[in-house]
């Protein structure tokens, strides 16, 4: 969300393969666990003046995102920006 906002995108559709995460984000509850800071930041971004949508997608429907999530587990940096895709072209969304 931070990157899309910073880059000036104001109509964004996020997809997530975890229904539990989507429910947690959309519930606007006060979180008191290790994820509370992340949920707070997400809610702050959702209050901004933009058209934002979050929906569920099955993991198999977005193989590139799944690949990136698994790839990130072994990375030290918290944020990486690539100018070219890093996942296999077989996962490209056309």
C-alpha 64/C-alpha 28 separation (Å) is: 28
Domain boundaries, the chain: 1-57, 61-94
pLDDT tier for residue 94 given thresholds of 50, 70 and 90: very low
Compute the CA torsion angle 76, 79, 62, 46 (nearest 10 deg). 140
Alpha helices by DSSP H, listed for the chain, are 2-6, 19-27, 36-46, 63-72
CB distance 66 to 59 below 8 Å: yes
Tens-place pLDDT, residues 41-91 = 898 999 999 999 999 988 888 777 777 777 777 777 677 777 776 666 555
């Amino acid at each position: 969300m931070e990157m899309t906002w910073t880059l000036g995108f104001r109509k964004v559709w996020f997809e997530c393969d975890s229904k539990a995460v989507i429910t947690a984000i959309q519930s606007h509850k006060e979180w008191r666990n290790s994820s509370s800071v992340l949920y707070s930041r997400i809610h702050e971004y959702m209050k901004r003046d933009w058209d934002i949508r979050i929906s569920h997608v099955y993991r198999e429907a977005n193989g590139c995102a799944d690949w990136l999530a698994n790839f990130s587990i072994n990375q030290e940096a918290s944020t990486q920006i690539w100018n070219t895709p890093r996942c296999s072209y077989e996962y490209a969304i056309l």
